[in-house]
Each structure stands twice: as structure tokens, then as C-alpha cells.
Amino acid sequence: MLECRNCGAGAPVDEHFCPQCSRILALGRHGDCFTFLGLPRKLLIDPQDLERRFRELSRKFHPDYFYNATSAERLASLERSSYLNDAYRALKNPVSRIEHLLAIEGLPSARSEEGTTKVPPSLLEEVFALNEELDEIRELREASEDSDRLLVRLANARKPIDAKRDEHERQLQELSARWDRLLAVSGVEGEPATAAEKRATLDALRERLLERNYINNLLATIEREVSGLQAHASRRGATVSPNS
């Protein structure tokens, strides 16, 4: 519960204005972006609805409306405007939306250092093949192999990783839809199966995010190799005289 600093009345944490005196409420300790924007904890949300809610609250919280208000109200408008921007950014992107859901549901972050350094079991084959190919390409680059040929090999090495990323995007979409279906089912209070299904879905979402982060790191490694090859080719070209 929040306490209105103007009249002392209590208000639910998801209220922005005091139900008694209509003054803007201090933000307090708010950690649920869904609740702040008046949304259920769903992952497949309507972008237009999210935008509409953001615009409406932006107008209500705008500091210009509180120019002649008390200092406490001016501070509250600034706090809520700032948090609104953060909440909007968190929910606008599907991946950050999942990360926020995991956080407020009490699961560890999918951005842990371990999750980006430890090879996920489902990617072992692709990582092994990619590392072998990258090692060979680096050796050939040092041996002055034609850069265009090596770039083609890098493009081919990237294809399985791109395919894995596409597969993970589909899995994230399917798991997000599953979470929303479970959320829509108003199960019997205390029913263990529903709680277990929700937790299993959250765990699967986190696992897919960890794998997704690792895949993005692999793609970044390939991009660095491409840039290195292009720079190497440019340096070689610059050392060759047109008249030689």
C-alpha cells in the first residue's frame, strides 16, 4: 500500500493518484513494469495498446502539469515519468520483456556471466564446428589466402548459427504464448500442477534466453572475424603499388 502525502489515505501500489484527494502519489518502491502500465504479466502484448498506455500516462505525469504544485508532487511527477520511460522500454522489446518477467517472478537473470561463457549443451555441435572453422580461417589469413574466399567460408560458417538463432526466436514465441495461456487459466487456488507448469515455462524461457545470448556472442565473433579479414585485405592492397 502507498500512503498519500497530502491526505494520508492509503492507496494500492498500482494506483498513480490518490483515490481520496486525487493528488499524484509518490512512487515508492515499484518493481513491476506490467502493473505500473496497467497490464497483466503477459508476454504477447499489443504494441499499440502499450503505446497508448504510455502516451496517456506520459501526459498525466508530465511535470508541466505540476508547475504550481507542491514540491512533493513535482518530485512525484518526475519519479513517475522517469519510471514510466524505463517500464516502457522494458516492455516494448520482447526479450527485455521476458527478462523483466523472470526478474519479478524471482528467477535469476539470464544475463549472468556464466550464461555467456559456458557452452549450452544444445549448441555444443555448432560451437565445436565453428571454432574449428575459425581456427583454420585464421591460419589461412596469416598465410595470405585470398580474402574473398575466406569471407565466403565465414558466411557459410555463419549459416548454422543463424539457423539456431531463428529456431530460438520461434521457441521464445511459443513459450511466450504458453505462458500467456497458463496465465489466462484461473486455476483452483493452491493447485500444484498449475504452479509447476508456470515454473517449468519460466525455466524454459530463461534457458532459451541464455542460449540466445550465447548465439549472439557467436555471431559477434564471426562479425569480428569478417572485419579483421576486410582490414587485412585493405592493408595488403595499400602495400601493393599500382605500378608494381
Altogether, the residues listed in the chain come to a count of: 244
Is 108 contained in some domain? no
Quote the pTM value: 0.83
Is 195 contained in some domain? yes
Q: Is 196 helix (H, G, I), strand (E, B) or coil?
A: helix
User: Within this chain, do residues 123 and 78 fall inside the same structural domain, yes or no?
Assistant: no
Q: Are 28 and 13 in contact (CB under 8 A)?
A: yes
Q: Any idea what the CATH number is for the domain that residue 36 is in?
A: 1.10.287.110
Distance between CA atoms of residues 162 and 160, nearest Å: 5
Tell me the pLDDT of the chain (244 aa) as tens digits. Answer: 788 888 888 888 888 998 888 899 888 777 899 999 999 999 999 999 999 999 999 999 998 989 889 998 999 999 999 999 999 999 999 999 999 999 999 998 876 555 456 788 888 888 899 999 999 988 888 888 888 899 999 999 999 999 999 999 999 999 999 999 998 875 445 454 578 899 999 999 999 999 998 899 999 999 998 988 887 667 665 544 444 4
Looking at residue 87, its amino acid is A
Tell me how many domains the chain contains. 2
User: Within this chain, do residues 72 and 161 fall inside the same structural domain, yes or no?
Assistant: no
Residue 132: which domain range? Answer: 113-239
Phi and psi of 2, rounded to 5°? -105, 150
